[in-house]
Amino acid sequence: VRTIKIVLAYDGTGFVGWQRQATGRSIQSEVEDALARIEGARVAVVGAGRTDAGVHALGQVASFRLESPIALPSLQQALNAMLPPEVRATSVAEDAPDFNARFAARSKTYRYQIVNTAIMNPFLRLYAWHVPRALDLEAMNAAAGLLRGTLDFAAFQAAGSDISGTVRTLSVSRWTSQRDGGPAGGAMLCYEVRGDGFLRHMVRNIVGTLVEVGTGRRPPQSIEAVIASCDRGAAGPTAPAHGLWLVAVEYDN
Amino acid sequence: VRTIKIVLAYDGTGFVGWQRQATGRSIQSEVEDALARIEGARVAVVGAGRTDAGVHALGQVASFRLESPIALPSLQQALNAMLPPEVRATSVAEDAPDFNARFAARSKTYRYQIVNTAIMNPFLRLYAWHVPRALDLEAMNAAAGLLRGTLDFAAFQAAGSDISGTVRTLSVSRWTSQRDGGPAGGAMLCYEVRGDGFLRHMVRNIVGTLVEVGTGRRPPQSIEAVIASCDRGAAGPTAPAHGLWLVAVEYDN
């Protein structure tokens, strides 16, 4: 029995999310179904991050145990031949016997993309949030900086969650103006965030709040009161799923 | 009555192409249907290039005549509100009364994108052709250069076409290695071509032939014999539609 670590890139459009559900296509079920054909038996796949419906990944990491003696390059080829074209295994490697993609993850890096132009780029409509109002990037960055460090993120947790430990550490929390927003010109704004863990909808709730800072509805410093409140009602709305990307999962070694 | 010139960007996935067909969604029908609601009467729209099903556009140009006195910014806003999100009017302007987007076009610029990596980038699967075999960019560029100038492109015309005049002038015909092919790394190869006119499937047939040069199946110099043959059978296969982009249409002034 080998323990395998794979890196996956996927277009989350049209999936119910990472996790297998009673109905609908999930990334996990696509990978598990492909592996079951290779193994000739059910294979349980553990993902580092449970991305929601519509969320994309460049570097999701997953792990599983395999009895089959198939060589790793053949495993990668067979997986990519069976997976739908929206999902690609970009790397396949053997790891330590007790490796678990979820529990061994030291941190995760997400990116949230906003196209800040009057007219949306039609090629980014499923991959970035269109915010036509003018956004003050400097104010958004000042607010983003207040989220760095070890803080209680309860105010940014999806309503109805009953996770008791809501303290997380963010080592990166910043906005950049990445590149052209498309044929009509204009800016693509990217929020990059790295943390040791994320609560449900946390990145999307942070982005929804920081966009309210960008439009002038909230001053940057008000983020401190939102954090202190531990109240979901004090933060802004949840940004749409399709602007969110799981960029990478970081491990020791 | 005003004559209006609009620039359109569209994701051609899911459309039967530019031109209105008996069945299926076309870009032309979407634009004409939206304009009919604004005008309160049928509006005939002329497109500069008749892109095929699955072909994308960054700068398609179209023209039409409008009785409605609607202000141009409002016209653009109304159009984008009614068009599906895959199609955006990126510019709307009044032009000379006799302007016709098709007949006034001096030249058109197309781009063909190839992802030349073992594993396809899932986010480019609908926007570039995946060619996993190694391609010799230098050989492809040598062959592309032989297509510049005023030549008879009959060999690159879709079989069954009965256009008599098959001489066209290409001012640009070159390959560049644009940027990263995605999460698994590797090159994106772009063929850029500008000409005073294009025969049916001409760019895709050129690309299919130049890729055969890239894999070593044909020497670069063999392109001269293909041109001289005026025989579709002497050229290579038709590259898939989804890698092709109408980048811009050029006019005088």
* Residues of chain A contacting residue B132, judged by C-beta atoms under 8 Å apart: none
CA-to-CA distance for A230 and A178, rounded, in angstroms?
32
Contact yes or no for B56 and A127 at CB 8 A: no
Contact yes or no for B183 and A90 at CB 8 A: yes
Residue A88 near chain B (CB below 8 Å): yes
What pLDDT is stored for residue B164 in this prediction? 73
Q: How far is A193 from chain B (nearest CA, A)?
A: 19
| DSSP letter, residue A154 | G
Residue of B113, B99, B89 lying closest to B35 (CA atoms) = B89
What pLDDT is stored for residue A185 in this prediction? 57
What pLDDT is stored for residue A206 in this prediction? 98
* Residues of chain B contacting residue A183, judged by C-beta atoms under 8 Å apart: 7, 9, 58-59, 88, 90
Residue B91 near chain A (CB below 8 Å): yes
What pLDDT is stored for residue B160 in this prediction? 75
| Closest residue in B to A81 (Cα–Cα) | B119
Backbone angles phi, psi at A113, to 5 degrees: -105, 135
Asked whether residue B178 carries a pLDDT value surpassing 90, the answer given is no
Residue positions of B annotated with a catalytic role: 52
What pLDDT is stored for residue B161 in this prediction? 73
What pLDDT is stored for residue B202 in this prediction? 97
Cα→Cα distances B48→A149, A151, B90, B107, B153, Å: 55, 57, 15, 10, 20
A52 is a catalytic site residue: yes
CA-to-CA distance for B64 and B30, rounded, in angstroms?
14
| Closest in A11, A86, A119 to B90, CB measured | A119
Region B212-220: mean pLDDT is: 97
3-state secondary structure of A157: coil
Residue A9 near chain B (CB below 8 Å): yes
Query: What confidence tens digit (pLDDT) does each residue in B104-135 have?
Result: 999 999 999 999 999 999 999 999 999 999 99
Contact call for residues A60 and A18 (beta carbons, < 8 A): yes
What pLDDT is stored for residue A160 in this prediction? 75
Determine the distance from the C-alpha atom of residue A53 to the mean position of all C-alpha atoms in its chain, rounded to a whole number. 11
Residue B56 near chain A (CB below 8 Å): yes
Asked whether residue B180 carries a pLDDT value surpassing 70, the answer given is no
- A 172-191 residues with CB below 8 A of B? 182-184
What pLDDT is stored for residue A164 in this prediction? 73
What pLDDT is stored for residue A122 in this prediction? 95
What pLDDT is stored for residue A161 in this prediction? 73
ipTM of the complex model = 0.91
Contact yes or no for B10 and A122 at CB 8 A: yes
What pLDDT is stored for residue B99 in this prediction? 97
Annotated catalytic residue, options A11, A52, A162, A231: A52
Residue A74 near chain B (CB below 8 Å): no
Q: How far is B2 from chain A (nearest CA, A)?
A: 24
Residue B51 near chain A (CB below 8 Å): no
Contact yes or no for A122 and B182 at CB 8 A: no
What pLDDT is stored for residue B186 in this prediction? 62
Residue B122 near chain A (CB below 8 Å): yes
Q: How far is A121 from chain B (nearest CA, A)?
A: 8
Asked whether residue B183 carries a pLDDT value surpassing 70, the answer given is no
Q: How far is B88 from chain A (nearest CA, A)?
A: 7
Contact yes or no for A119 and B59 at CB 8 A: no
CA-to-CA distance for B117 and B181, rounded, in angstroms?
7
* Residues of chain A contacting residue B128, judged by C-beta atoms under 8 Å apart: none
Query: What confidence tens digit (pLDDT) does each residue in B60-111 have?
Result: 999 999 999 999 999 999 999 999 999 999 999 999 999 999 999 999 999 9
Q: Which residues of chain A have pLDDT under 70?
A: 162-163, 179-186
Query: What confidence tens digit (pLDDT) does each residue in A70-98 have?
Result: 999 999 999 999 999 999 999 999 999 99
Contact yes or no for B9 and A120 at CB 8 A: no
